[in-house]
DNA sequence: CCACGAGATTAGTCATGCCTAAATTAAAGA
DNA sequence: TCTTTAATTTAGGCATGACTAATCTCGTGG
């Protein structure tokens, strides 16, 4: 028997959170101490201290005063957690009756608690999904990121130029507001180029809605030129 | 792992484990420091230290050198965890393809990680079950323990005297051995009074099997006189 | 009725991971 | 180049919960 618990993570919850935050914020580029502190909700000195440990343990490359990047090993761990997180979110929505904007916090905790066996059972139950309820890709067990399909569309009826945008799922409160408009990940959403004052006009599956500029910041992408 | 969500336990994982152990071992009677240490896999001094804290926090009554019992508040917390544990076990077996003797460790971890919302979603999914895969009763949300039905039977065919025994689900390894014999909780199992040397004869749903004396210790109850 | 031993508790550490306050460094503008 | 300041790191602590070694207590046998 390798591990009494069977097959649970060799790193602490906290370390996992750091790795995931560096992966999320960095995209390969160095991440600053203060950005990490903000993302993780801890003080900058706490981050400094942890980065020293992560550097020593070979999960992170960190040079004093010059930010942190993930090593290959650190990247592997981060993707392992992202996979867990996204599979759990999808499970909560598809099988446990959660709304898609309620699952993040639950997954944030459970991703550290479940065993590898649990994750693979989930993968089977969900039939090896490639994307989570927010539309984000689910890394495979060996750390590959599925392509997120290009959602650009050539238009149809009106002849207007527009494209499908992808929701940036960050702030639960605003996400709830968007959901109230019928705007949620997975739903086909076209954004017209036209703007009038402080609102954008969106074409959803059934009809159009308006969107305040503030909320429109939650949508990423550029209109087709 | 504290209470940022608003929905998660006010006590630490560790405290929960202590309360559950006192509940399990004590049955209302005082539990000794060393029994607790053995059950929890920690040293007796660790238990001594924790019992002082639990006593101060009002979850446990503990008098130096004279064992610990749960207060009403401590009992409530313990039952809350037992409910989680058993619902999770049942879920793992019914929906995630675990074998009934594989679920204990997973539940031991998850019971501390899931939110109240998760537990109630589980309860709905499982249709408010009263017993877990080991045949143990699942406390209700308000801490009541469902009656475990009396499984005594008057006999049928052979005229022999026997009764149904209940499996004591403790040791995973032996449970696996029992399962290999077709003997598992929920399956109708009659134990004949006859003994020959080192084996007992059991009547299962389809046919009879023999059981070594060692394994028979995992079965509780007395034959009908 | 007292000494002994098993079991319990105290004393003193350690590891994690967080904090605030006080330096230090890098990098930009004068 | 030099100053300034924002970002970062160091220094020093705290809480939790575990450990070992040493000491104490209760209950029992002599």
Adjacent-strand bridge partners of A209: A202
Nearest partner of A117 among A77, A84, A146, judged by Cα: A84
How far apart are alpha carbons A10 and A16 in whole angstroms? 10
Nearest to B121 among A96, A113, A124 (CB): A96
B172-203 per-residue burial string, b: 16 or more CB within 10 A, e: under 16 = eebbebbbeeebbbeeebbbbeeeeeeebbbb
Nucleotides of C under 7 A from a protein CB: 7-12, 16-22, 25-27
For helices A13-26 and A72-95, what crossing angle results, to 10°?
100
**Given this structure, which CATH class describes domain A151-224?**
mainly beta
* DSSP, residue by residue, B140-175: -TTSPPPPPPP------SS---EEE-EE----HHHH
CB contact under 8 A, A117 and B106: yes
**The predicted structure's pLDDT at residue A178:** 55
Nearest to B110 among A95, A98, A114 (CB): A114
Higher pLDDT: A178 or A28? It is A28
> Rounded to whole angstroms, what are the CA distances from A220 to A24, A163, A191, B150, B192?
16, 11, 11, 62, 71
**The predicted structure's pLDDT at residue A100:** 73
**The predicted structure's pLDDT at residue A212:** 53
Whose C1' is closest to the CA of B17: which nucleotide?
D17
E strands, B72-215, in order = 162-164, 166-167, 190-196, 199-204, 207-212
| pLDDT single digits (tens) A9-24 | 789 999 999 999 999 9
- Range name among A17-31, A43-57, B90-104 with the lowest pLDDT average: B90-104
**The predicted structure's pLDDT at residue A183:** 53
**The predicted structure's pLDDT at residue A221:** 40
| pLDDT single digits (tens) A99-125 | 877 889 999 999 999 999 999 999 999
Fold for domain A1-146? Arc Repressor Mutant, subunit A (1.10.10)
pTM of the model: 0.73
Q: What angle do CA A160, A165, A166 make, to 5 degrees?
A: 170
Most distant pair of Cα atoms in chain A: their distance: 66
DSSP SS3 for B16: helix
Nearest to A121 among B1, B96, B122 (CB): B96
A194 in Cβ contact with A203 (< 8 Å): no
A213 in Cβ contact with A199 (< 8 Å): yes
Contact flag, residue B143 CB and nucleic strand C, below 7 A = no
ipTM over 0.85: no
Higher pLDDT: B117 or A174? It is B117
How far apart are alpha carbons B51 and B60 in whole angstroms? 7
**Domain spans, chain A:** 1-146, 151-224
How far apart are alpha carbons B92 and B114 in whole angstroms? 14
B86-112 per-residue burial string, b: 16 or more CB within 10 A, e: under 16 = bbbbbbbbebbebebbbbbebbbbbbb
Element (H, E) at A68: strand A68-70
Considering only CB atoms, which chain B residues are within 8 Å of A13? 1
Region B67-85 average pLDDT: 96
Work out the mean pLDDT of chain A and round it to a whole number. Answer: 74
Nearest partner of A127 among A104, A95, A80, A167, judged by Cα: A95
Nucleotides of D under 7 A from a protein CB: 7-12, 16-22, 25-27
- Range name among A76-85, A160-169, B77-86 with the lowest pLDDT average: A160-169
Whose C1' is closest to the CA of B45: which nucleotide?
C9
């Amino acid at each position: 028997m390798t591990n009494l618990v069977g097959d649970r993570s060799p790193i602490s919850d906290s370390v996992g959170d750091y790795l995931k935050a560096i992966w999320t914020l960095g995209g390969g580029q160095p991440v600053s101490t203060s950005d990490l502190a903000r993302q993780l909700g801890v003080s900058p000195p706490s981050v400094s201290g942890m980065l020293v440990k992560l550097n020593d343990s070979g999960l992170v490359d960190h040079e004093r005063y010059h930010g942190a990047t993930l090593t290959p090993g650190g990247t592997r761990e981060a993707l392992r957690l992202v996979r867990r997180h996204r599979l759990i979110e999808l499970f909560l929505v598809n099988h446990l009756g959660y709304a898609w904007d309620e699952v993040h916090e639950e997954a944030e905790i459970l991703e550290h608690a479940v065993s590898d066996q649990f994750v693979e059972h989930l993968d089977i139950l969900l039939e090896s999904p490639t994307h989570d309820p927010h539309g984000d890709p689910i890394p495979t067990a060996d750390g590959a990121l599925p392509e997120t399909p290009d959602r650009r569309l050539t238009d149809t009826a009106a002849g207007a130029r527009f494209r499908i945008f992808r929701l940036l799922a960050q702030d639960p409160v605003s996400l709830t507001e968007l959901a109230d408009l019928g705007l949620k990940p997975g739903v086909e959403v076209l954004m017209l180029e036209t703007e009038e004052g402080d609102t954008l006009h969106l074409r959803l599956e059934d009809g159009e809605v308006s969107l305040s500029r503030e909320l429109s910041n939650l949508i990423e992408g550029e209109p087709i030129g």
